[in-house]
Structure 1
Amino acid sequence: MNTGYGRDLDLNLLRVFAVVADTGSVTAAASRLYLTQPAVSAALRRLTATIGAPLFVRRGRGLELTGRGKRLHAALVPHLRAIVDAALSEPQWSPATSDRTLRLGLSDVAELWLLPALLRVLAREAPRMSVVAVPVQFRTVASALAGGLDAAVTVADELPATVRRQPLLCGGFVCLFDPRHTRLRRTLTADEYFALDHVIVSYNGDLRGIVEDVVQRSRTVRCSVSTFASLGALLDGSGLVATVPLLVAAHLRETRKHLATRPLPFELEGTPTELLWPSSADDDAACRFVRDKIVDISQLTISKLASAS
């Protein structure tokens, strides 16, 4: 509290005072405030005691402001009106003029397919807004959201009830490789797949990935990296293969068109990528705007993947 609040004044008393001053009657003020007459009278006594001067005098059946009361009323009414307006008016927000900076938690996959498209949308519709992209994954996203993220896009397990979640997309996996160095048939058998040399993305920093967890069979892993960002460079010009989400394969092939894909010889579905945000940001106009754009981009991405398949 700063010194402006140092006199221990109950601000509710000022509202009672203003209504009594407007109506000139304790009875009428009590009806308007949905209080009893004794409660209104007690409030006026407390306010008078705090200020140290009478605020009303009896005039017939009603009340009239004293000189001290008139000065208080004149100074108080504009502030009360401003407070009510601030509480009840709809906030005005425009993406074209907003200079908000939003903190978005993105998995390495989301950073590939979502962030470039989102920045292009913001450049057109909200050119003064900025984004701080923070790396997250399923193990860290809950604590990152609790730490102040405006939203996150990743896969997630159990989350607190205060986190909202909306599924965005769920694609399968493909085998990505450089056909100039690795020749693969159109339809791979499981034995052919497991005989290849693999590069994997492991958040645990080991040689085990989703294939080992789902298929319960080990690959020959020559390299393990922590993100998908370097896979294109690792596959380009090598005999390695990578098992990646369809989204990642599509993104990498945009810049390395000579890379090719093959269907996997077994079923492997990924966990849905979700849009996550704290419930406290439900009514934040800037956050809602960006969330809507993320949903639009994900739907467009799904359409592109469907037409390419």
Structure 2
Amino acid sequence: MSASYGRDLDLNLLRVFAVVADTGSVTAAASRLYLTQPAVSAALRRLTTTVGAPLFVRRGRGLALTGRGERLHATLSPHLQAIVDAALSEPHWSPATSERTVRLGLSDTTELWLLPALLRVLAREAPRMRVISLPVQFRTVAAALASGVDAAVSVADELPVTVRRHALFCGGFVCLFDPRHARLRRALTTEDYFALEHVIVSYNGDLRGIVEDVVQRPRKVRCSVSTFATLGALLDGSDLVATVPTYVAAHIRETRRHLATRPLPFTIEGSPTELLWPSSTDDDEACRFVRGKILDLARTALPKPKRA
């Protein structure tokens, strides 16, 4: 601790002293400070004891500064106003000069479309800001937000009341495949679908995915992976199919245009993808800036589904 903090001086006494010096009156100072006259007099006595010298003398019906008081007042006045200004002024933050590092928790599906677009925005508007992207999913996002992540974009279950949430979008699912190797009819039947061989994404590291959970029927799973990021490469050139969110299929087809989609023969209601953040960052200018850009990108930068 700095030695200045350790000394036995209540800084509130200096404010009382400054107002008494400006008004020349205990009564007037008490009125301005919303204190009683005895409280102001007691504060002056405490400050006098701490300084070790008289600060005021009586002059008529008021008070005048002693030589020691004059020196204290002259030194104190500019600093006291600067402290008040610093405490009450609006914070100034500029994305153009900010060197802030923002920690984002992104699901694997979100990272595919959001992170490249967000980095392009930051390169234009906040070139010194940096992003740390951390993997999250619906089971881990609450712990990530509690451990220092500034914001997250993911599907989420129940969350603490201290977490703010804003729904970004809610999409369905389609069947994604390579039509050069997998021959799918335009209108799949349930039996067609379950006769195919599948690659699935399982965060549990098993052979169950969302279809098994919703339809309660097992697929012929040839491969289970932990992320959507590799699905395009796995489907390209194979007879496998994958059931993916519509926007993920659109993103994959941005670079693998020969892949195709088919509607599912049953309905799977997708959970909303949400922007999530700790309420403690509500007034953090850098976090608010990044959250605003994420909201903009969710409205404009999501890949648009292509016709199969």
What's the TM-score once normalised by structure 1's chain length?
0.96
1:127 CA drift (Å):
1.6
Equivalent residues of 2:232, 2:256 under 8 A apart: yes
Q: Which deviations, in whole Å up to 9, do the C-alpha atoms of 1:262-287 show, x marking residues without a partner?
A: 11111112111111111121122221
1:293 CA drift (Å):
0.8
Q: Which runs of 5+ in 2 are unaligned?
A: none
Q: Map of 1:78-97 to 2, 5 A cutoff?
A: 78-97=78-97
Matched residue type, 2:168: L
1:301 CA drift (Å):
3.8
Structure 1 residues 8 and 157, CA gap change in structure 2 (3 angstroms): farther
Provide the identity percentage. Answer: 81
Secondary structure of 2:64's counterpart equals: strand
Show the counterpart of 2:168: 168
Q: Map of 1:222-233 to 2, 5 A cutoff?
A: 222-233=222-233
Q: Which deviations, in whole Å up to 9, do the C-alpha atoms of 1:219-244 show, x marking residues without a partner?
A: 11111111111111111111111111
Show the counterpart of 1:240: 240
Equivalent residues of 2:250, 2:305 under 8 A apart: no
Matched residue type, 2:95: P
What is the distance in 2 between the residues matched to 1:114 and 1:204? 24
1:180 CA drift (Å):
0.8
Show the counterpart of 1:296: 296
Asked if 1:305 is matched to 2:308, the reply is: no
Structure 1 residues 88 and 308, CA gap change in structure 2 (3 angstroms): farther
Q: Map of 1:129-140 to 2, 5 A cutoff?
A: 129-140=129-140
1:8 CA drift (Å):
2.6
1:79 CA drift (Å):
1.5
1:307 CA drift (Å):
8.3
What is the distance in 2 between the residues matched to 1:250 and 1:209? 20
1:308 CA drift (Å):
6.4
Asked if 1:257 is matched to 2:223, the reply is: no
1:195 CA drift (Å):
1.4
Asked if 1:119 is matched to 2:119, the reply is: yes
What is the distance in 1 between the residues matched to 2:93 and 2:256? 41
Equivalent residues of 2:177, 2:259 under 8 A apart: yes
1:295 CA drift (Å):
0.5
Equivalent residues of 2:16, 2:40 under 8 A apart: yes
What's the TM-score once normalised by structure 2's chain length?
0.96
Matched residue type, 1:276: L
Show the counterpart of 2:192: 192
Equivalent residues of 2:249, 2:305 under 8 A apart: no
Number of equivalent positions: 308
RMSD: 1.5
What is the distance in 2 between the residues matched to 1:92 and 1:155? 34
List 4+ stretches of structure 1 deviating above 3 A: 306-309
What is the distance in 2 between the residues matched to 1:160 and 1:75? 50
Matched residue type, 2:7: R
1:208 CA drift (Å):
0.7
What is the distance in 1 between the residues matched to 2:99 and 2:114? 21
Show the counterpart of 1:57: 57
Equivalent residues of 2:246, 2:305 under 8 A apart: no
Equivalent residues of 2:250, 2:306 under 8 A apart: no
Equivalent residues of 2:193, 2:265 under 8 A apart: yes
1:306 CA drift (Å):
6.8
Show the counterpart of 1:159: 159
Matched residue type, 1:305: K
Show the counterpart of 1:14: 14
What is the distance in 1 between the residues matched to 2:41 and 2:158? 54
Q: Which segment is superposed worse, 49-58 or 252-261?
A: 49-58
Matched residue type, 1:121: V
What is the distance in 2 between the residues matched to 1:170 and 1:22? 63
Structure 1 residues 221 and 306, CA gap change in structure 2 (3 angstroms): closer
Q: Which segment is superposed worse, 244-253 or 80-89?
A: 80-89
Matched residue type, 2:146: A
1:142 CA drift (Å):
1.5
Structure 1 residues 64 and 249, CA gap change in structure 2 (3 angstroms): same
Q: Which runs of 5+ in 1 are unaligned?
A: none
